[in-house]
Every structure is written in C-alpha cells, then in structure tokens.
C-alpha cells in the first residue's frame, strides 16, 4: 500500500483509510464485535494504517471497538476521532445539538483517549462547525491539547473555506474531512483550492456514495429499517433510478480497466490530488480487499478526461442530507 502525506504536515498514512462508523452505527444494526475486531486487524495486515471514528458513533461503542481492535497494533496505526456534539443524556443514538465549547472539547478528548486505549489522539476533528463558538476558540482548545500531548493533529469536518482559514491561523489544520465523490463534487468549488494553498490534507468520506457507487444498490433495493440512508433524499427510489446513469458510467469504465465500479470511483479520487486520502467504510472482508485493489488501478489522463466528459452530462438527483443536517455543513 502506498503512503500519502497530508499537505505540509508530517502526518503520513496509507493511501486509503478505513471509515469505521458502519461497524457500530447508521447502516443497520451493529455488526458482530469479534468479526469487526478481526476485520480491523486484517486491514492493518493488508497495509491500511488510517482509521476514522467518532464519539457520536454509537455513541461511544465505535471508539471502544476501534480501541480494543487496534490498541495492540498502536505503533502501526493513525487514529482519527471527532468532537462537537451534545449527546443524548440516556446514551441513546443521536445528539441534542452542537457543542464545541473549549471545556467540552477537553472532556471529549479525555474520554476518547480512554475508549481508544491510547495516550494521544493522532487526528482530532471538529465534527461540525458550531456557530455559537468562535472557531478561534475551538482551534485554541485543540492547540492546548496538542501542547499537553493529548492530541497530535487538528482537523475540521465539513467546514467552509473562511472557517478553515480562521482556524488554521490559530492552530495549523492538518486535514479537512468532507463528503466527496463522483456524485458529490461541491468541495471542488472552493475547499480544494483553499487546502492546496494552505498545505492541508483532504479526507473524502462516503467516497462510494454511501454504497450507491458500488453498483450493488438500485431502485428496488430494500434497506434495513434502522439504516439512516432511508432518511436521505438521494436514496429515495426515484433518486436512485435517476442516478443509475452514474453507476452505469463507472461500470463501463470498470469493464475496460478490468476493475469494479467501486474501484474506479476510488481510483478517480486517488487521481485527483496526492494529499487526498479516501476512507471507504465496510464490514466485509471481500469489500475491504476490493477497495484496497483500487490503489492498483491506474487511470490515465485520457481515462480521467473520459470520466469528466461523461459525468458532466449527468445531473445527480436528490439532496445528500435532510435539510437539518445539510445546514450543519459548509459553515
């Protein structure tokens, strides 16, 4: 597995990371713990060194899973987790709004360190920008944690360009995480240019369109009642039918390159910038191997141009989030 560096930082990780959320949260019922521990450890054997979690995934259970699985391999892995929500007091899934007050950030850091069984968080993201707390205060709190040795690097998730600049002026931002794939390309409008200018890495989450770009989901697919994709406008049967054209495009290129649609979608991201590290999530070993296989797929300039021309003729239908969640992005 090739390695990549996040911008001007000294943080180096595998070219592909692993999003761990779906093992415990959001995509149907939590998966078997021992199976997920095995999958996490196998992914390290396969060369993956970058793992993404958050306190809100569960809540808490995903960090506990990652901690149990990876603490014996601590010297081989980079673990990213996140702060920024007020969780439900009864411990049930979900949250009660945003909270990035400095004292809350420090509480979350201490609790996450225990659950992850580590003495320093490699990359600590603000999960969503809190409009009630100046980003300078957030960056300052993380700067304190870095000074104390509890955190190594500062990150932002779904932040707008102005916020990234303001935060970076207080504490250098190592990486920004936002949704990015062939079916959601908004980061190209402003974010990627800002990151390139400032020397900040980029972590595309949902690089496979929450599973849709794999070609394994169509308008007739029934998702588990607890799967959060049921709440997303882009996953209505009508939107899935309309967006099938994008999957068909990936399938056609995949056939030409002797790859799978998922591998083409990931290879396209890897070809965009050398400081970009996608984090596809999976709970299945054969999918993990398929995703890793994307790092060996080489898209030529002609391939990339063909994808660009074909994709430009496809208008993706449906918002990616319900309005309440969409309002939390791009601040």
57: annotated active-site residue? yes
Residue (of 303, 293, 314, 317) closest to 46 by Cα position: 293
Q: Is residue 152 classed as helix, strand or coil in its secondary structure?
A: strand
Which DSSP string corresponds to 14-82?
Answer: ESS-EE-GGGTSSBSSPPPHHHHHHHHHHHHHTT--EEE--TTTTTTHHHHHHHHHHGGGGGG-EEEEE
H or E element: which one contains 235? Answer: none
Structure tokens of 8?
Answer: 């001007």
Beta strands in 35-134 (DSSP E): 50-52, 78-83, 85-87, 95-98, 121-126
Catalytic residue among 57, 125, 180, 205: 57
Q: Which residues contact 45 (CB under 8 A, 6 or more apart)?
A: none
| 3-state SS assignment for residue 86 | strand
User: In this structure, what is the dihedral angle of CA atoms 73, 119, 159, 268, given to the nearest 10 degrees?
Assistant: -10
Which residues are known to be catalytic? 57
């Amino acid at each position: 597995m090739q390695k990549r560096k996040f911008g001007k930082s000294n943080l180096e990780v595998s070219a592909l990371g692993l999003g761990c959320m779906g093992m415990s949260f959001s995509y149907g019922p939590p998966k078997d713990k021992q199976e997920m521990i095995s999958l996490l450890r196998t992914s390290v054997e396969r060369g993956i060194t970058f793992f993404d979690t958050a306190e809100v995934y569960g809540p808490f259970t995903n960090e506990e899973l990652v901690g149990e699985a990876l603490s014996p391999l601590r010297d081989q892995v980079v673990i990213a987790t996140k702060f920024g929500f007020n969780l439900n007091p009864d411990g049930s899934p979900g949250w009660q709004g945003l909270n990035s007050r400095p004292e809350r950030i420090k509480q979350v850091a201490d609790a996450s360190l225990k659950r992850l069984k580590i003495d320093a968080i490699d990359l600590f993201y603000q999960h969503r920008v809190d409009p009630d707390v100046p980003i300078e205060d957030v960056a300052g709190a993380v700067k304190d944690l870095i000074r104390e040795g509890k955190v190594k690097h500062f990150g932002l998730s779904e932040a707008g360009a102005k916020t990234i600049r303001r935060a970076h002026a207080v504490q250098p931002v190592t990486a920004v995480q936002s949704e990015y794939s062939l079916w959601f390309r908004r980061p190209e409008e402003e974010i990627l240019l800002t990151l390139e200018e400032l020397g900040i890495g980029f972590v595309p989450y949902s690089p496979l369109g929450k599973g849709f770009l794999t070609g394994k989901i169509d308008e007739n697919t029934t998702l588990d009642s607890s799967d959060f994709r049921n709440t997303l406008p882009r996953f209505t049967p009508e939107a899935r039918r309309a967006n099938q054209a994008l999957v068909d495009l990936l399938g056609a290129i995949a056939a030409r390159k002797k790859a799978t649609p998922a591998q083409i979608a990931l290879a396209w991201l890897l070809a965009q910038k050398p400081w970009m590290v996608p984090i596809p999530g999976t709970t299945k070993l054969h999918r993990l191997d398929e995703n890793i296989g994307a790092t060996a797929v080489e898209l030529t300039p002609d391939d990339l141009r063909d994808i660009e021309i074909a994709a430009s003729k496809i208008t993706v239908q449906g918002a990616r989030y319900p309005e309440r969640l969409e309002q939390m992005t791009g601040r």
